[in-house]
Structure 1
Amino acid sequence: MAVRVLIVDDSGFFRHRISELLASDPRIEVVGSASNGREGIEQVKKLRPDVVTMDVEMPQMNGIEAVRIIMRDCPTKVMMLSSLTQEGARVTLQALEAGAVDYLSKDMRAWMDRSLSLQKQLCDKIVTIGSQGRALTPFMARSRAKEGQSSTTMVFRPQRSRSSDAAAASASPAPAAQSTVNSRAASTATSTALRRPLGGGAAADLAARSTLRGSQRLAIPRDTRLVVIGSSTGGPAALQEILTQLPASFPYPLLLIQHMPKTFTTVFAERLNQQCQIAVKEAEDGDRLQPGRALLAPGGHQLIVDGKQHDRIRILPGDDRLTYKPSVDVTYGSAAKSYGNRVLAIILTGMGADGSEGARLLKQAGAHVWAQSKDSCTIFGMPQAVIKAGLANEILDLEQIGPILSGGR
């Protein structure tokens, strides 16, 4: 059955161009269009599409407000179209927090180009979202349930002084006691893992290990010295869900690899830094790995752990031979080489299979790999590739990961 799409955009050119590109794919059916957010909401209720393409800036009602109302009244999968400016990045991230599934840049030159590249990217995203995507992220579902609270908890921390930054920079990642979750969280995690149908092969083996583990508490592995998290579609909300639960005293450095263009990673890091108790920054060449600080890989580049100074990272130019810039595989592989079995790798929601080859290197080095569960993913592609290859030590729902990392605090 074809994926049914509604196009919401105030530009007649873009409505026509999007429709033209989508109509060329037999897997997709364009069921209608709207020229502003208010009309878009009405059409969603009337037509019940599988996916909505939503412009950000429109008259009468903008895309962000439209997404909020759609998620409240008739949850539907929404893909945002926005510019690659910093302001475009900010409003797109707000839309993702409101419940949008994914986004695509609105670069006029690319949309006027008659090459097949944009058409394939757009159609593949629509089909994948339509067949797998969640209409509402777990983060938004819980946030909305809290009366009187905004969708995001903002933790505005005072700017660190240069002297305190210098002192922090002199500290290298320190060993920490093994974190454990409280018995209630552990019981929930174990029972959820046992209930989830995993199929045969490697997944069945994992279920068997979970059964043998019984009432053991899930925890960060004792030897961990570095946490590396990879994500793509649905990742911004998933990362926010996890990182906002970590205390400022989190005892490990983190590396975050999220598929995003450069402008978006700059804004996303700033946004996370205001929302989290831990420090978050867009990674720069030579940054030191520090407990309680997360470094976000900059878009268009690759982040690796320095092979000579393992407490530092390197930022390398993006290689055109690699599909993803940044690539989870690249960072996982460098972490495996430098930290071996002392890495905890987490693979979250996302299209494709980026991370599976890096996870293989990590497993060969004795590291632990956690994968997000299908039921809690926006798109199951990346975790699925790791699980199918038999590389996941644990399969966890998104809402379990933060509490386990924070030790139940």
Structure 2
Amino acid sequence: MEAASLGSDKPKIRVVVIDDSALMRHVLSEILNSDPDIQVVGVASDPFFAREKIKEVNPDVITLDVEMPKMDGLQFLRNLMRLRPMPVVMVSSLTLRGADVTLEALELGAVDFVSKPEIDIAEKLKSYSEEIISKVKVASTAKVNRLSDEALRSPEKRNIIKPPGANLHFKTTDRILAIGASTGGTEAIREVLEKLPADTPGTVIVQHIPGMFSASFAKRLNDTSAMTVCEAEDGQRVLHGHVYIAPGDRHLTVKRDGARYYCKLSSPDAEPVSGHKPSVDVLLHSVAEQIGHNAIGVILTGMGKDGAEGLKAMRDAGARTLVQDEATSVVWGMPGAADKIGAAEEVLPLQKVAPRISLLFQRSQAGQKKA
């Protein structure tokens, strides 16, 4: 992902690195200080030292390890976002446990995360220096809100009711909802899906996320959505009331066979498109071509411009197109880029996206004209 230069006339981004590993503190500090726009103003080996360091230097961004002594990273993040919200980039391991914890951290308010290699940390982490620098820069511009009581509630307490699936399970969908997102998108997608009813047409989603994380992401969404959510499989039929998440290392497209739609996955070695794999542009272009006016396209918060051209293609094909507004986006890169080229029919705050989707599908089903 690209990071915009801050310019020499602007103050440096002040960062505190929190990690129990002296090696990780050194490597991360070295990487971040190598960029002229960033200055590491403090390090801490555990959350208690971190708390005092944050009070002392008032950083713009912190990087936070997940597993630390005395207090784990999640509890520290929970306290931080409730009492003193600030941009946080998590540093997590590429494991199933790491994926679950990282996704919970994003739910608690972390802006983004960087995956920590399990072996040869010093050497491999250096290869991620561009990503780390980029995400810290984006985090410094992100909108961070105080942790809400809703975010503290478990999925079982969010009044999500899973309906009996028999009536929807094999029902063909003739309409498609396609959603794309990046930075801040895991929580934006969750909020949209929580508000959509169980009988929403088949939904396909690309979130920029590593391959190890996408299955865990789908599972978490399934726990909080009235629809059935899964990681997409090649050749899988797109059904009414179901949601399909692109695997984190493969492009997802939709293919038509008569009145039926199927998920099509690229090979794992396919090249990135618009700088990403999976790419929102790849998905939305396929929806424009295969579904046309029977689709709704949505771009939520995210850095960069992936999806803008695909959403424009959808609008040109007669689909309804929505983007999240700047005020509620963590980063207004992707939705802003789509709006700039005329791809967005409507620009909406996040809380209004799901109700608008439902209304548009209701009107299309009833054969009403566009509002």
Does TM, scored on the shorter chain, surpass 0.5? yes
* TM-score, normalised with respect to structure 2: 0.87
Partner of 1:330: 282
2:267 to 270, 294, 317: 317
2:54 to 44, 53, 57: 44
RMSD of aligned residue pairs (Cα, Å): 2.4
Letter in 2 for 1:129: A
Q: Name the structure with the higher helix share.
A: 1
* Displacement after TM superposition at 1:110 (Å): 7.1
Contact 1:307 1:334 in 2 (8 A): no
* Displacement after TM superposition at 1:247 (Å): 2.0
Contact 1:3 1:27 in 2 (8 A): yes
Letter in 2 for 1:239: I
Identity of aligned residues (%): 37
Letter in 2 for 1:86: L
* Displacement after TM superposition at 1:119 (Å): 1.4
Contact 1:41 1:69 in 2 (8 A): no
Contact 1:343 1:367 in 2 (8 A): yes
Partner of 2:367: none
Partner of 2:153: 150
Contact 1:96 1:237 in 2 (8 A): yes
Partner of 1:287: 236
Tell whether 2:176 aligns with 1:172: no
2:99 to 83, 89, 114: 89
Offset from partner CA, 1:140-186 (integer Å, 9 cap, x none): 43626xxxx6264456777988xx4xx75542115xxxxxxxxxxxx
* Displacement after TM superposition at 1:379 (Å): 1.0
Q: Cα distance 1:158–1:151, how it changes in 2: closer, same or farther (>3 A)?
A: closer
Contact 2:309 2:343 in 1 (8 A): no
Matches within 5 A, 1:175-186: none
Q: Partners of 1:404 and 1:124 in 2: how far apart?
A: 33
Q: Partners of 1:387 and 1:76 in 2: how far apart?
A: 28
Which ranges in structure 2 are unaligned for 5 or more consecutive residues?
A: 1-10, 363-371
Partner of 2:192: 242
Partner of 1:218: none
Tell whether 2:145 aligns with 1:136: yes
Contact 2:160 2:194 in 1 (8 A): no
Q: Partners of 1:87 and 1:114 in 2: how far apart?
A: 20
Contact 1:155 1:277 in 2 (8 A): no
Letter in 2 for 1:263: M
* Displacement after TM superposition at 1:343 (Å): 1.4
Offset from partner CA, 1:204-237 (integer Å, 9 cap, x none): xxxxxxxxxxxxxxxxxxxxx2110000110111
Tell whether 2:318 aligns with 1:366: yes
Contact 1:155 1:274 in 2 (8 A): no
Partner of 1:228: 178
2:223 to 274, 289, 299: 274
| SS, match of residue 94 in structure 1 | helix
* TM-score, normalised with respect to structure 1: 0.79
| SS, match of residue 267 in structure 1 | helix
Which ranges in structure 1 are unaligned for 5 or more consecutive residues?
A: 175-224
* Displacement after TM superposition at 1:313 (Å): 1.3
